[in-house]
Amino acid sequence: MAIQTDERLKQLHFTKDTISLNLIDGQTITVPLVSYPRLLNATPAQHQKWQVCGAG
């Protein structure tokens, strides 16, 4: 997927307990999944189906 100029998200990945967002400026933001119950209860297959929306 080509990154558009207004997108901020480069990649994201999940662990058992966290979601990490890698931004195009090199920063990484990691937050606990307990903050997002729907993501916490999602399956690994569902986690792989993410997509960028808005400005990324």
pTM for the whole structure:
0.72
- Strands 18-23 and 28-32, bridge-based pairing: antiparallel
Rg (CA), the chain: 12
Structure tokens at 22: 């890698």
pLDDT by 10s per residue, the chain, length 56: 565 555 688 889 999 999 999 998 999 999 999 999 999 999 999 999 988 776 65
The string over 13-49, giving b where at least 16 C-beta atoms fall within 10 Å of a residue's C-beta and e elsewhere, is: ebeeeebebeeeeeeeeeeebeeeeeeeebeeeeeee
